Amino acid sequence: MTGLAFIAAGMAGVWLLSTPGSDAAIGARWLRAPVRRAATAAPRAPVSLLRCALAGTAAAAVGWMGAWTLFGGVVAPTLVAVFGAATPPCAMANRRRRRAADCWQAWPSLLAEIRVLVTHRGQSIPAALFAAGSDAPAGMRPAFSEAARTWSLSTDFEASLRVLKTSLADPTADAVCETLLAAHQIGGVRIDARLRALAEAAQAEAAARSDARAKQAGARFARSFVASVPAFMAAIGLSIGRGRQAYESGDGQLLVAFSVLVVAGCWLWASRIMAIPARKRVFVQ
């Protein structure tokens, strides 16, 4: 029981370290204070890499100790530690994809606001774009702020849109930026109809992706449940027969290692076939 309690505490610590932006309990926020202070004092990318490395190292240590508590030996704990080290980077990548999906769903409302500001309030296209960007989701606001700063310093709309496209790296953003640039430079291109068409296309794509994720909810739950069953059965096996001594034997270590490889392979295979393909970017210079 002490070993299982250690595993649970270690997994909770790894989760808190690898999800600094999650809504965790208020009492655990002090654990993330040093990471947040480092994020404000250093560039974002190095801090993210450092956080990922720390989370991977902690997950490997927790996986090794947990596997050694259950199975003993060296082969099985080492294999579990290797897969445990890869868990936080994969979790962070999935979280980035979810944030990108949330940003995609915001484009229809942003386009509608831009269309209203341009056609009904008479604002210029750059002013309407950056005004709408101030109400964008949190994941998109830094890109709009950087583009607005470029516009205020240079009044070069093309350079500002280039900054926006680079920061967002989104096919919908590319199409919107190219349409707005053409309307700003040429004029008389029926911006109202074009923005309405872009908003309808973005709405259709967001609805299709949301529907696909909803249909996969049961399969994703089943994948997690099936992956947790072998670990639960392994814990129960400690109280049957010789328990840990059987796991520590050579044959036991080989069987445990084979089981870990099979579960990890099935997880990766299921993740691959359930991945929703991303739309390729076209307007990339």
Residue 240 reports pLDDT greater than 50: yes
Residue 26 pLDDT: 37
Q: Residue count of the chain, please give it.
A: 285
Higher pLDDT, 100 or 116: 116
User: Does residue 71 contact residue 244 with C-beta atoms inside 8 Å?
Assistant: yes
Each residue of 82-101: pLDDT tens digit? 888 888 777 777 777 777 67
Q: Name the DSSP class of 31.
A: G
Assess whether 198 and 256 both reside in one domain. Answer: no
| 127 and 205 co-located in one domain | yes
Segment 93-112 mean pLDDT = 77
Report yes or no on 78 lying in a domain.
Answer: no
Interatomic CA distance for residues 186 and 96, integer angstroms:
36
Give residue 37's pLDDT. Answer: 40
Q: Is the pLDDT of residue 248 over 50?
A: yes
**CB neighbourhood size of 142 (10 A):** 13
Give the side-chain half-sphere CA count within 13 A for 22: 16
Q: Are residues 8 and 64 in the same domain?
A: yes
Answer whether residue 184 is part of any domain. yes
Instruction: Identify whether residues 192 and 138 lie together within a single domain.
Output: yes
pLDDT at 1 over 70: no
202 and 116 co-located in one domain? yes
Q: Rounded to an integer, what distance in angstroms lies between the CA atom of residue 174 and that of residue 168?
A: 9
**174 and 265 in one domain?**
no
Range of the domain at 271: 217-279
Q: Could you tell me the sign of the dihedral formed by the alpha carbons of 59, 80, 90, 57, in that order?
A: positive
277 DSSP 8-state letter: P
Instruction: Tell me, yes or no, whether 225 and 205 share the same domain.
Output: no
**Domain ends where: 170, 191, 212?**
212
- Asked whether residue 222 is assigned to any structural domain, the reply reads yes
Q: Which of 96-110, 119-133, 136-150, 262-276 has the lowest mean pLDDT?
A: 96-110
Task: DSSP letter for 55, please.
Answer: H
Mean pLDDT value of segment 140-168: 90
Residue 91 within any structural domain of the chain = no
Distance CA 212, CA 217 (A): 9
**Residue 255 pLDDT more than 80?**
yes
Domain boundary among 212, 235, 267: 212
- The reply to whether 90 falls in a domain is no
Q: Are 177 and 283 in contact, with CB atoms under 8 Å apart?
A: yes
Which pLDDT does position 8 carry in this prediction?
Answer: 52
Residue 81 lies in a domain: no
Residues 128 and 114: beta-carbon distance below 8 Å: yes
Whether residue 96 is contained in a domain is answered as no
Residue 19 banded pLDDT, cuts 50, 70, 90: low
Indicate yes or no: pTM above 0.75. no
Average pLDDT over residues 248-266: 84
Of 196, 212, 228, the position where a domain reaches its end is 212
What's the pLDDT at 169? 79
DSSP-assigned letter for residue 122: -
Q: How much is the mean pLDDT over the chain? A: 75
171 and 250 share one domain: no
Question: Do residues 166 and 159 lie in contact, with contact meaning Cβ atoms separated by under 8 Å?
Answer: no
What pLDDT is attached to residue 150?
92
Residue 20 is assigned to a structural domain of this protein: yes
- Percent pLDDT > 70 in the chain is 78
Contact 65, 10 (CB under 8 A): yes
Please tell me the distance from the alpha carbon of residue 146 to that of residue 168, in angstroms, as a whole number: 11
Q: What is the pLDDT of residue 39?
A: 39
pLDDT at res. 31:
40
Q: Which residues contact 134 (CB under 8 A, 6 or more apart)?
A: 141, 144
Cβ neighbours of residue 18 under 8 Å, at least 6 residues apart?
Answer: 51, 52, 55, 59, 88, 91, 92
What is the SS3 string spanning 195-222?
HHHHHHHHHHHHHHHHHHHHHCHHHHHH
- Report for 31-40, 46-55, 107-116, 157-166: range of highest mean pLDDT: 157-166
> How many structural domains are present in the chain?
3
Within this chain, do residues 188 and 222 fall inside the same structural domain, yes or no?
no
Give the residue with greater pLDDT, 141 vs 30. Answer: 141
Output the pLDDT for position 35: 41
Query: Mean per-residue pLDDT for 154-173?
Result: 87
| 3 plus 49 within the same structural domain | yes
Same-domain check for residues 207 and 221 = no
In this structure, are 207 and 122 located in the same domain? yes
Query: How does residue 78 score in pLDDT terms, banded at 50, 70 and 90?
Result: confident
Predicted local confidence at residue 46, as pLDDT = 59
Is the confidence at residue 77, as pLDDT, over 90? no
Residue 146: predicted pLDDT: 92
